[in-house]
């Protein structure tokens, strides 16, 4: 599917830079995964996780190392390129795209902690799968040399395939919460520990995004050293790379990239169905030839183009701004939240419109269209794209007018 970013690359000189060659290689590997993802789609849904065969293929395509700095063995792609890859994977399957999105966020987490933790994780200079949960659903009690952590965290996407898992805690001392130094309320920090320390609880029985494996994870009185804690997502990184100064913005906009990919997949599924020559009951003309279908498809495609354009504009705006923001609240990412919420809502409308245009054939579980719609509906419930953040965005709009 042609996008603004694709056109910009096509217009460039034929003498590609190493980065461009790397991006093209990643995207070609993703395209080659199409038949495997289609074959494994029932297993992804029924097993409620990504199969190991597919995870291995994603590793080979370097999906989990796209944003990791080269000095730690990663590809160090720019966000524009990594977002294209996430969109391409979400186009193949919503759960695959979601886990790829989470993989980018997880891969950046150690760089909010400490050089020691990064070296521990990336000492082999290989890609690693890192899962986690952002809700402060645990406690960390101060002990000599570190903390004792206990808690149970929901929505740990990809935890069954992860090598490291993160959970966010209320920091405690003597049984009482430690006051935050930069505002009211308790100090909140996230810890990252190897997967073998965690218990995975089978809780992910859902309406959509079934294959993401977003089960609950738990720790019970596990010792965690100081070097394994960090502030998520607004903490400062020890690393000088530009991306670590924009971690919250990248996190929010990645949700837009995944949503656009799922909606693109819905449009493609609808077009494939129509081209098969299907007819609706009591209508002798093939669906693809009816005015209602062509008008509906054009409207949906226009909405998708608007969502994609807004996403690309926001990514470029954030990445071209060299400043590192020190703000530690949602006001910092108000514009990105505003864009991501609208993008996700638009993509929901696109998927629902495709489902409606497809008629009764879309109601079967074998139809990818119903899965696209379910995935986007569940995705819209995520805190990063929830409409309640329009309040923060609206306040920011008033402040700049």
Q: What distance in Å separates the CA atoms of residue 399 and residue 401, rounded to the nearest whole number?
A: 6
Structure tokens at 285: 């003309």
Classify domain 4-112 at the CATH class level: mainly alpha
- pTM of this prediction? 0.93
Classify domain 129-230 at the CATH class level: mainly beta
Q: 66 with 102: CB under 8 angstroms?
A: no
Q: Domain ranges in the chain?
A: 4-112, 129-230, 246-400
Q: What distance in Å separates the CA atoms of residue 258 and residue 252, rounded to the nearest whole number?
A: 11
Alpha helices (H) along 93-162:
94-108, 115-122
DSSP letter assigned to residue 179:
B
Q: Which of 321, 306, 213 is nearest to 259 (CA)?
A: 306
Per-residue pLDDT of the chain (401 residues; tens, 9 = 90+): 544 445 444 433 344 455 778 999 999 999 999 999 999 999 999 999 999 999 999 999 999 999 999 999 999 999 999 999 999 999 999 999 999 999 999 999 999 999 999 999 999 999 999 999 999 999 999 999 999 999 999 999 999 999 999 999 999 999 999 999 888 899 999 999 999 999 999 999 999 999 999 999 999 999 999 999 999 999 999 999 999 999 999 999 999 999 999 999 999 999 999 998 887 766 778 888 899 999 999 999 999 999 999 999 999 999 988 787 778 899 999 999 999 999 999 999 999 999 999 998 899 988 999 999 999 999 999 999 999 999 999 999 999 89
Q: Is 233 helix (H, G, I), strand (E, B) or coil?
A: coil
> Interior CA angle at 212 toward 162 and 272, to 5°?
135
- Residue 146 gets the label, from left (phi > 0), alpha (psi -120 to 50) or beta, of left
Alpha helices (H) along 234-333:
247-275, 291-320
Q: 165 with 130: CB under 8 angstroms?
A: yes
End-to-end CA distance of the chain: 36
Q: Which of 25, 99, 94, 20 is nearest to 64 (CA)?
A: 99
In 3-state terms the chain splits into helix, strand, coil percentages (rounded to 5) of 60, 15, 25
Q: What pLDDT score does 1 carry? A: 54
Domain 246-400 part of CATH 3.30.450.20:
no
Q: What pLDDT score does 17 carry? A: 59
Burial of 48 (0-12, 13-18, 19+ CB in 10 A): buried
Q: 26 with 63: CB under 8 angstroms?
A: yes
In total, the chain counts a number of residues equal to 401
Rg (CA), the chain: 22
Q: Which of 240, 256, 261 is nearest to 316 (CA)?
A: 256
Q: Using the Cα atoms of residue 163, residue 168, residue 174 and residue 180 in order, give the sign of their dihedral.
A: positive
Q: 81 with 90: CB under 8 angstroms?
A: no
Burial of 98-114, coded b for 16+ CB within 10 Å and e otherwise, reads: bbbbbbbbbbbbbbbbb
Q: 310 with 335: CB under 8 angstroms?
A: no
Distance of CA 272 to the CA centre of its chain: 27
Structure tokens at 396: 């920011």
Characterize the bridge pairing of strands 176-177 and 146-156.
unpaired
3-class secondary structure per residue, 128-145 = CCEEEEEEEEEEEEEECC
| Element housing 374 (H / E) | helix 368-379
- Phi, psi (degrees; rounded to nearest 5) at 317: -60, -45
Residues forming beta bridges with residue 143, ordered by sequence position = 146
> Interior CA angle at 355 toward 94 and 362, to 5°?
90
Q: What distance in Å separates the CA atoms of residue 320 and residue 317, rounded to the nearest whole number?
A: 5
- Phi, psi (degrees; rounded to nearest 5) at 241: -60, 140
Q: Using the Cα atoms of residue 295, residue 300, residue 301 and residue 305 in order, give the sign of their dihedral.
A: positive
Structure tokens at 98: 């979601």
Q: What pLDDT score does 10 carry? A: 41
Q: Is 304 helix (H, G, I), strand (E, B) or coil?
A: helix
């Amino acid at each position: 599917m042609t996008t603004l970013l694709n056109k910009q690359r096509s217009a460039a000189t034929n003498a590609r830079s190493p980065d461009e060659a790397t991006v093209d290689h990643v995207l070609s590997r993703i395209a080659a995964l199409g038949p495997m993802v289609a074959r494994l789609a029932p297993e992804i849904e029924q097993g409620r996780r990504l199969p190991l065969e597919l995870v291995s293929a994603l590793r080979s395509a370097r999906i989990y190392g796209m944003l990791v700095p080269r000095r730690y063995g990663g590809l160090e792609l720019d966000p524009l390129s990594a977002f294209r890859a996430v969109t391409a994977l979400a186009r193949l399957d919503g759960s695959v795209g979601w886990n790829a999105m989470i993989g980018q966020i997880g891969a950046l987490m150690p760089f909010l902690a400490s050089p020691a933790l990064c070296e521990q994780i990336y000492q082999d200079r290989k890609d690693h799968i890192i899962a986690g949960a952002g809700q402060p659903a645990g406690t960390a009690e101060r002990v000599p040399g570190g903390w004792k952590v206990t808690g149970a965290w929901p929505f740990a996407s990809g935890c069954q395939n992860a090598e490291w898992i993160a959970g966010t805690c209320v920091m405690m001392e003597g049984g009482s919460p430690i006051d935050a130094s930069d505002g009211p309320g308790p100090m909140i920090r996230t810890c990252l520990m190897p997967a073998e320390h965690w218990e995975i609880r089978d809780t992910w029985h859902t309406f959509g995004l079934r294959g993401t494996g977003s089960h609950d994870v738990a720790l019970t009185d596990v010792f965690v050293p100081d070097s394994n804690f960090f502030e998520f997502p607004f903490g400062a990184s020890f690393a000088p790379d530009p991306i670590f100064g924009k971690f919250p913005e990248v996190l929010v906009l990645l949700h837009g990239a995944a949503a656009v990919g799922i909606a693109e997949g819905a449009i493609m599924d609808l077009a494939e169905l129509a081209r098969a020559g299907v007819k609706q009951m009591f209508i002798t003309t093939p669906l693809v030839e009816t005015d209602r279908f062509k008008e509906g498809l054009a409207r949906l495609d226009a909405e998708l183009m608007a969502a994609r354009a807004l996403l690309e504009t926001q990514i470029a705006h954030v990445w071209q701004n060299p400043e590192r923001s020190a703000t530690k609240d949602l006001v910092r990412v108000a514009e990105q939240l505003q864009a991501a919420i609208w993008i996700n809502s638009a993509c929901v409308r696109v998927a629902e419109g495709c489902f409606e245009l497809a008629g009764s054939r879309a109601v079967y579980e074998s139809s990818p269209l119903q899965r696209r719609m379910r995935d986007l509906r569940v995705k819209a419930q995520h805190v990063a794209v929830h409409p309640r953040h329009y309040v923060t965005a609206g306040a920011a709009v008033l402040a700049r007018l």
